[in-house]
A and B are shown apart, each in its own frame.
Chain A
Amino acid sequence: MQILSLSLSNYRIFKRLEMDFPQRLTLLVGNNAQGKTSILEAIHFLSIFTSPLASSDREAINLLALKEEIPVGRIVGGIQKAGKKHTLEIRLILNPAQNGSGRLRKEVLIDGVKKKLFDAVGFFNSVLFLPQMTRILEDGPEERRKYIDQLLSQAYPGYVRALSDYQAALSRRNALLKLLFDKGGDEGQLAYWDEMIATNGATIIEARIKSISDFEEYFREQFRRLTGSREEIRLDYQPSYNGENQANRQLELGINQSASNPFGYAEIRENFLARLKTLRREEIRRGVTTIGPHRDEIRFFSNDIDLGVFGSRGQIRTAVMALKIAETQWLKDKSGELPVLLLDETLAELDELRRADLLNSLGLDEQAILTTTDLKLFSPDFAKTCQVWQVAEGRVEKSNSG
């Protein structure tokens, strides 16, 4: 899979931008705050249909464009996939609303034909590597859930739909729980929402169980390679739908053996529903849904040490790097094509050895786009194989490499 061209309008710092990319390596060079990362963000946007950086996608629209009557940000990628050329376009349209704060609408077009987001996600795959991704290990569980969700949404089209239905039902269920606590009323109203979150929740949990155990193999292999087999990594997925530690431990076994899992969709759904019923009193009192995939946790263990708690800076960086390389391989095996690699300032963070290792493994088969503030981080030999683009103040210019 390749990206051949990118055109942006009203996206972040870019009023307009036109770029093309060679088959293998591209280097974006420029000082900080010139738009390098925004280019990678835009390309990754084409994969996951949401910004990997912004807390709200509307932030991605150019500030000046916000003054226009209907602000529209646009990302158009020329994609090569299975030997065929396609255009993938995303429009971010800020609908003017009566009271100032407009609603953001996203449109996705493949080859000029409007598609539903759910149907189009996974059309173009890319793997993004940002220095701040150590957060996946260091920060709260929501970072890890977001990471897993973005990964799975590229591989399983149905996953995004279940996730979005789950969120919709969850917010309504929480509203109802509060309503029942404040004003009382018939608890029977909960039955439908219990059903909705258990059904969609089970789809999500089942996908997470299956894919995390599958993905763990790839991850473990990369981590072993990067640490010279000195460290053994393990992913501990802790779904939150039954709250019984015993059952969780069983589940853990299932993951580690990565054999056929006894925890199928029907069983998860049933347990989830039963648990919701026993928790009903307490949930009404607290006014929130206390179990479900929105409370799931994934821990990273290296030689049985929890990296999120005890990991050194170096260990965590290595884990993230292994994660990203594993992601590339995994997506390749899922979709049949290598995803596009997007590496932001990654090399500055790595020591000499790891840097050489990463560069050697790069660009043999896959397309990679790297950003750097300093071209000197790369050997002249390496730079010669790259197309170099200079990025400054929201403008780009091709320059000769090396």
Chain B
Amino acid sequence: MAILPEPLEKLMLAFERLPGIGPKTASRLAFYMLRAPAEVSADLAEALKDIKISTALCKVCFNITAAGRDLCDICAAPERDNGLVCVVEEPMDVLALERTAGFAGRYHVLHGALSPIEGIGPDNLRIAELEDRVKEGRIREIIVATNPSMEGDATALYLRQRLETYPVHLTRLARGLPVGGDLEYADQSTLLRALAGRQDL
């Protein structure tokens, strides 16, 4: 016995499938759409429709770019350093690194990390494509910036195995104490890693 008309139910279900949204939020959003001016839902519908059609992956780094283009803005920028490539798990990570404005090289997006539990192996990631880029021989250094989790570390170590035969310098992002943090409140494993990764003064 459906109390709500079917289109509303359908919208609620669609919202509920999104990550981080439960039944309550889904119904709140659906009712909001119902009451809001028509252009709000029209704009959303258009944006949703476009997102698949008008985006594509960059052919070099596999970051997200506008459809119909081979290269993303970063790969197309001539002033960037071709010899330096930063490997990340997700496109969101590119965004995070770009916000720092502290990196002037290129990127490579793996689209995930090796995860035996989820059944994700090297063939499900853009690892072969990274190897191809390295083979070309223009890259001096690869910065592996996968997450500091078990899966991220496993991916990093695996990349080392795949790439160690090439004349490329492999580095991993430093891990340690957060800026503005307090030594006494750092947990043991962070502190241990910070100790192991200490630098010359």
Q: Contacts A172-B150, A192-B158 known; A179 to B187 CB distance under 8 Å?
A: no
Closest to B123 in A: A185
In Å, the complex CA distance between A161 and B154 comes to: 19
Which listed segment binds A: B5-13, B69-77, B111-119, B168-176? B111-119
Q: Is the Cβ of B187 less than 8 Å from the Cβ of A185?
A: no
Q: A196 an interface residue at 8 Å Cβ cutoff?
A: yes
CB <8 Å contact, B188 and A119? yes
- Asked if B150 contacts A116 (CB within 8 A), the reply is no
Residues of A near B122 (CB, < 8 A) are: 185-186, 189
Is B187 in contact with A119, judged by CB distance below 8 angstroms?
yes
In contact, A183 and B187 (Cβ under 8 angstroms): no
> What A residues does B162 contact at CB under 8 A?
188
Interface residues on B, range: 10 to 19
5 residue pairs bridging A and B, Cβ less than 8 Å apart: A119-B188, A161-B189, A171-B117, A186-B121, A189-B121
Measured in the bound complex, the distance between the Cα atoms of B160 and A195 in whole Å is: 14
Q: Is the CB–CB distance between B157 and A191 below 8 Å? A: yes
Given A119-B188, A172-B150, A192:B157 Cβ within 8 A: yes
Contacts A161-B188, A191-B157, A191-B158 given; does A172 touch B117 at CB 8 Å: yes
How many A-B residue contacts, CB cutoff 8 Å? 51
Instruction: Name the 7 nearest CB pairs between A and B, nearest first.
Output: A176-B116, A175-B116, A192-B154, A192-B157, A188-B161, A185-B121, A172-B116
Question: CB within 8 Å of B: which residues of A?
Answer: 98, 116, 118-119, 158, 161, 168-169, 171-173, 175-176, 179, 183, 185-186, 188-189, 191-193, 195-196
- Which residue in A173, A179, A196 is a CB contact (below 8 Å) of B121? A179
| Mask: chain B, 14-49; 1 = CB below 8 Å from A; 0 = not | 000000001000000000000000000000000000
Other-chain residue from B115, B121, B157 in contact with A195 (beta carbon distance below 8 A)? B157
Most central of B22, B116, B121, B123 by chain A CB within 10 Å:
B116
Report the separation of the CA atoms of residues A188 and B155 in the bound assembly, to the nearest whole angstrom.
11
Q: Which residues B137-166 have CB closer than 8 A to chain A?
A: 150, 153-154, 157-158, 161-162
**Could you mark each residue 122-134 of chain B with 1 if its beta carbon is under 8 Å from any beta carbon of chain A, else 0?**
1100000000000
Closest to B161 in A: A188
User: A183 with B150: in contact, given A188-B158, A192-B157 (CB under 8 Å)?
Assistant: no
> What A residues does B153 contact at CB under 8 A?
192
Contacts of B22 in A (CB 8 A): 98
> In the bound complex, how far is the Cα of B114 from the Cα of A173, in angstroms?
12
A190–B150 alpha-carbon span in the complex (Å):
13
Picked from A118, A119, A168, the residue with its CB within 8 Å of the CB of B150 is A168
Which of these, A116, A119, A168, A189, contacts B114 with CB under 8 Å?
A: A189
**Chain B window 175-194, contacts with chain A (Cβ cutoff 8 Å), 1 for yes, 0 for no:** 00000000000011100000
Of chain A, the residue at the smallest CB distance from B187 is: A116
The smallest C-beta distance from B85 to any residue of chain A, in angstroms, reads 21
Interface contact B154-A189, CB-CB below 8 Å = yes
For the A-B complex with A118-B188, A172-B154 known, give 20 more contacts whose Cβ atoms are closer than 8 Å: A119-B188, A171-B117, A172-B116, A173-B116, A176-B116, A179-B116, A183-B121, A186-B121, A188-B158, A188-B161, A188-B162, A189-B116, A189-B121, A189-B122, A189-B154, A191-B157, A191-B158, A192-B157, A193-B154, A195-B157
Distance in angstroms from B128 CB to nearest chain A CB is: 11
B140 to chain A, nearest CB (A): 24
Q: Is there contact, CB below 8 Å, between A196 and B150?
A: yes
- Complex Cα gap A172–B117 (Å): 6
Measured CB to CB, the closest approach of chain A to B195, in angstroms, equals: 15
CB distance from B15 to the nearest CB of A (A): 13
Cα distance A238–B41 in the bound complex, in angstroms: 67
- Complex: how many Å from CA A161 to CA B188? 10
> For residue B114, which residue of chain A has the nearest CB?
A189
Chain A residues within 8 Å of B154, by CB: 172, 189, 192-193
Chain A, Cβ-Cβ closest to B162: A188
A189 contacts across to B, CB distance below 8 A? 114, 116, 121-122, 154, 158
Enumerate chain B residues within 8 angstroms of A193, measured Cβ to Cβ.
116, 154
Known: A161-B188, A186-B122, A196-B150. A175 touches B117 (CB 8 A): yes
Which residue from chain A places its CB closest to the CB of B154 in the assembled complex?
A192
- How far does the alpha carbon of A189 sit from the alpha carbon of B153 in the complex, in Å? 11
Query: Distance in Å from the Cβ of B21 to the closest Cβ of chain A?
Result: 10
Determine the chain B residues whose CB is within 8 A of the CB of A183 once the complex forms: 121
**CA distance in complex: A98, B22 (Å):** 7
Q: How many angstroms from the CA of A19 to the CA of B161 in the assembled complex? A: 60
Question: What is the CB-to-nearest-CB distance from B167 to chain A, in angstroms, rounded to a whole number?
Answer: 20
Contacts of A98 in B (CB 8 A): 22
Report the bound CA distance from A130 to B61 in whole Å: 61
**Bound Cα distance A173, B115 (Å):** 10
CB distance from A161 to the nearest CB of B (A): 7
Could you tell me the distance in whole angstroms from the C-beta of B40 to the nearest C-beta in chain A?
A: 27
Specify which chain B residues have a CB less than 8 angstroms from the CB of A175 in the assembled complex. Answer: 116-117, 119
Note all chain B residues with C-beta closer than 8 A to A173.
116
Q: Which residues of A contact B115 (CB under 8 A)?
A: 172
For B16, the closest partner residue in chain A by CB is A98
Task: Give the distance in Å from the alpha carbon of A193 to the alpha carbon of B155 in the complex.
Answer: 11
Report chain B residues within 8 Å CB of A195: 157
Please measure, in the bound complex, the distance between the C-alpha atom of A172 and the C-alpha atom of B153, giving whole angstroms.
13
User: Residues of B contacting A116 with CB < 8 Å?
Assistant: 187
The interface residues of chain B lying within 8 Å CB-to-CB of A185 are 121-123
Task: List chain A residues, Cβ under 8 A from B188.
Answer: 118-119, 158, 161
Minimum C-beta distance from A176 to chain B (A) = 4
In the assembled complex, the CB of A59 is this many whole angstroms from the nearest CB of chain B, namely: 25
| CA gap between A175 and B154 in the complex, in Å | 14
